[in-house]
Amino acid sequence: MTIAVRPSPIGPMKTPVLACTTDAGVVLVPVDDGTRTALENLFQLYVHDFSSIVPIDVDDTGRFEATIADEWFAREDHHAYLVREDDTLRGFALVRRGSRVTDDPKPMDVAELFVVRAARGRGLGAKVVQTLFDSFPGRWEVRVRDANAAALAFWSSVVSGEADGEVERAPHSDSGVPWTVFRFTTTA
């Protein structure tokens, strides 16, 4: 896969535009002030999906109280992307440097990945992940809540297909909640 990094027309930015050029029309666009509302709206759909696994309710306004932390827009080691396919908004990806399980500052971490239901089941999520892995080669870590069977199946498949070498699959517990952690390396 060839990754095209497009320069920003408004000057340098901390997060490059990533385009999956072997699959026409799949582009990961950095979230900026003008697109932050779109990310926040998609995040509500993401939390809605998660509400079947995690006990979270809507507030009196009909919205989930979960929000995206400001660090995603301020820190150089955090990258927030909107996923577009043929110019249609399809989801988002949040990746950051540093393990959320250990104190290791080096691996990349897929914090969140979301594809709208209408675009699922046809490989878009795998294309997004492949684009991320190719764009940030090196050590990676992906955490999946064990109660999310669909995500475990997705990540097991994608990681085994994209990793260069062995994939470590380790159990992890956070506040009594069981997780599976995938650790692996990719190259561009």
Classify strands 177-186 and 88-97 as parallel, antiparallel or unpaired. Answer: unpaired
The pLDDT confidence band at residue 183, using thresholds 50, 70 and 90, is: very high
- Which residues constitute the domain of residue 28? 3-186
Count of domains forming the chain: 1
Tokens representing 178 are 């069981």
Partners of 184 in the β-ladder:
140
Under 8 Å between Cβ of 106 and 139:
yes
Strand-by-strand arrangement of the 108-115 sheet: 3-6, 17-20, 26-30, 78-85, 88-97, 108-115, 138-145, 177-186, 168-174
> What is the distance between the terminal CA atoms of the chain, rounded to a whole angstrom?
9
pLDDT in the model for residue 20: 55
pLDDT in tens, 112-136: 999 999 999 999 999 999 999 999 9
Residue range 89-107: mean pLDDT, rounded? 95
Is residue 6 predicted with pLDDT exceeding 50? no
pLDDT in the model for residue 2: 31
Check which CATH number belongs to the domain holding 9 and give it: 3.40.630.30
Percent of the residues in the chain that have a pLDDT greater than 90, as a whole number: 76
pLDDT in tens, 23-82: 557 899 999 999 999 999 999 999 999 899 988 999 999 999 888 999 999 999 999 999
The pLDDT confidence band at residue 1, using thresholds 50, 70 and 90, is: very low
pTM of the predicted model, to two decimals?
A: 0.87
